[in-house]
Amino acid sequence: MTGPRLLVALRPREETAEVLATQLPGIPWQYTRDGTPEDWQSAEAMLLGSVERDLGDRDVRNLPMLRFIQRLYTGMDGVDFGRFPETALLAGNVGAYAPFVAEHAVALALAAAREIPRSGTLVAEGTLRPPPVQRLLWGRTAVILGYGEIGRAIAERLAGFGTRVLGLNRSGRMAPGCSGMFPADRLAVAVAEGDFVFDTRPLTRSTEGTIDASVLAAMRTDAVFVNVGRAGTVQESALYDHLRGHPDFRAALDVWWDEDYVNVRIGHRFPFSTLPNFVGTPHSAGFGPGVEAYVLERAALNLRRFFAGEKPRHIIDRAEYTRR
């Protein structure tokens, strides 16, 4: 049987061919947009971007040899697992975006804490004094929810500001870079400790909607909340109401509850951008020069493990994501 061993469900780009040639020499591959399921009977693995945008309506459920799907992106929420063989393993590209998302998270924290948007308005108006009310990272405490690859990268960057770091993970076991760790079931206790609260958690059954009105109420009234994980970990209406009712509280988001990648639009149920204590960016933390090649290389390295007969890293449990 001849044909590709690897299917690539991505938009064609120069970096893809270069990275695959370097990391997977001798592995024949093909873009899914260039063929049909009849051509792919020999495919053993897939490099997947967006199911809707990059795979489209192509049906790969019955490919007899497809055993591994490596996603280019970190998160697996929103992926329709029914589009793939039930026996195929799936892996997220865990940690691939950590340096870039961490940098963006700190930028958002500073923008909110230092009131950078309002400062720009004052400059445009020609107003010198009084300056906006400033918050400092120096000498303060940051709580990082989801102390994984991105969480550790944030902690490394906060160390340069003299910020005390606490973390939250599933087990509560200590990890490098933080002064203390909370288990996931002590979320409200953890957030109460933070002048800054960073949410980097994936969206799973156990994290969905956990930042609700009661957890927001447990945060300090002048806390800065930054979300670079998934919007669905936060109850949208609860956050909007909390921002309106607590003017000293600040929020900075890079992730949204309604992200339409086909039409490249953000859907808004609430006018967050009209609030003076809010800063937002359009899920852009993972963009920058050299990012695409770096992320592709990380994904290709896990594919190389698969093709070498080794167990790929970061295999997900579908049950953590599949709706009941």
Write down the pLDDT at residue 322.
Answer: 62
CATH architecture of the domain covering 98-280? 3-Layer(aba) Sandwich (3.40)
Look at residue 235 and give its three-state secondary structure.
coil
Q: CB of 122 within 8 A of CB of 176?
A: no
Write down the pLDDT at residue 2.
Answer: 79
DSSP 182-221: EEGGGHHHHHTT-SEEEE-----TTTTT-B-HHHHHHS-T
CATH architecture of the domain covering 6-96+290-320? 3-Layer(aba) Sandwich (3.40)
Whether the predicted model's global pTM rises above the 0.85 cut: yes
Q: Tokens 């970990």 correspond to what residue?
A: 233
- Closest by CA position to 9, among listed 38, 39, 30: 30
Structural tokens at position 276: 């003076």
Per-residue pLDDT of the chain (324 residues; tens, 9 = 90+): 579 999 999 999 888 999 999 999 999 999 999 989 999 999 999 999 999 889 999 999 999 999 999 999 998 888 999 999 999 999 999 999 999 999 999 999 999 999 999 999 999 999 999 999 999 999 999 999 999 999 999 999 999 999 999 999 999 999 999 999 999 999 999 999 999 999 999 999 999 999 999 999 999 999 999 999 999 999 999 999 999 999 999 999 999 999 998 889 999 999 999 999 999 999 999 999 999 999 999 999 999 999 999 999 999 999 998 654
CA distance 247 to 268: 21
> Where, residue-wise, is CATH 3.40.50.720 in the chain?
6-96+290-320, 98-280
Structural tokens at position 96: 């691939």
Write down the pLDDT at residue 324.
Answer: 40
